[in-house]
Chain A
């Protein structure tokens, strides 16, 4: 039982820690820089 409580508490602490940070975890796939230049048919490489 104590193990369970400790685990849940730890988990909650980690979640709280993650939420309270300076910068939210950035999703590299979802924030997209503009291209450097066009490449073939698909410019997304850049």
Chain B
């Protein structure tokens, strides 16, 4: 719509006369010409008239920008090409501030949190959150929904699952106030399901994964279905419903194969390997872990995870040759690591078994007592603390050092009690 008729429409809607609108800006006669497109007024005059009417300038561009924003928001939700996401962000960043729609600008600013997380810029994500905190009092329900959801994502990225859950629940409370798409609702439900799983709230994890999968099935989102099945597999394993766990894992694997998603397939192998390990079927566990090692098209992290899992499995069946082979393999992979801190746990596991297999007992003791166990305590990694305290206790017992052995059995036992009370 041209600006003249647009101004007229708004003037009439607001029951203003031409004289009232034109006062102090132009004559009524001139305003009439503008409204009827008999003349072209200056941008300054147009701006003054629009301001008086409280309407946005340049609505056609507004619409184009809004659409581009929606497209970009969508890219941040699905697995999209990173360079494309960055390119459109840069385009939007140039034009958003010329756009007079405060609502679009605010939504763009909120989505920047997610954008920074997606491109791996955690510091920028935090800065963006801090920048928006002051304005958050003016957010409407839809702004608040994404504000809470993306802040939750930030905490998830920081492994702060409790804080993340708080944010996701706050976002969930907005469901009743908004008309969100089924996919958006399912995405949050899936996110909450994964977070419950990390917090070991098993029944809640099952509940949310089931809710999410009901939508993903209908929308044929096979990858998300597969991921829900993995959450269900983990949860059923934890409550010892092994058949159901295996069934869910197999479904996840099947869907992963349908979509040729290597990551989903190998994540399923990792978790299946773990399930078989916990029920004592080491051979099957090894089969699944070995599948992962063979895979080239997965991340370093996943290969190291599988390698260290294999070290443990081979060690536990006294196949020290294969365990040694896996230690070497793990050490090779660890050399490729940039951020050593993130992989610290795997360094500890690899070296612990390395010293144990090679009978370098002093080094074994020194590493586990002085570094590994304090690390696990600091990170509240109770599960691994039980395992390695137990391993140390066994070692001392095997060497007739009973006093030290009891100390670490006690640590294992107390930690286990802590773990089951979570």
Interface residues of A (CB under 8 A from B): 3-4, 7-8, 10-11, 14-15, 17-18, 21-46
Contact = CB atoms under 8 A, between A and B. Distances in A.
22 contacts: A7-B402, A7-B405, A10-B406, A14-B410, A17-B413, A18-B412, A25-B383, A26-B383, A27-B384, A28-B382, A30-B273, A30-B277, A31-B270, A33-B234, A34-B194, A34-B226, A40-B118, A40-B119, A40-B120, A42-B301, A43-B263, A44-B302
Contacts of A37: 77, 79, 117-118, 153
B413 A28 contact: no
B381 A38 contact: no
Contact of B197 (A3, A33, A44): A33
Contacts of A44: 299, 301-302
A10 B397 contact: no
The A interface, classified by DSSP as helix, strand, loop or mixed, is loop
Contacts of B390: 15, 18
Given A26-B383, A34-B230, A34-B264, A15 B409 contact: yes
Which 7 A-B residue pairs are closest in the complex by CB-CB distance? Answer: A40-B120, A7-B402, A34-B227, A44-B301, A28-B383, A14-B409, A25-B386
Contacts of A18: 386, 390, 412-413, 416
B345 interface: yes
The B interface, classified by DSSP as helix, strand, loop or mixed, is helix
B274 A30 contact: yes
A38 B409 CA distance: 40
A46 B157 contact: yes
B125 to A, nearest CB: 10
A29 B305 contact: yes
B194 A8 contact: no
Contact of A33 (B82, B230, B383): B230
B419 interface: yes
A7 B384 CA distance: 24
A37 B383 CA distance: 25
B267 interface: yes
Contacts of A36: 153, 156, 190-191, 194-195
B420 A23 contact: yes
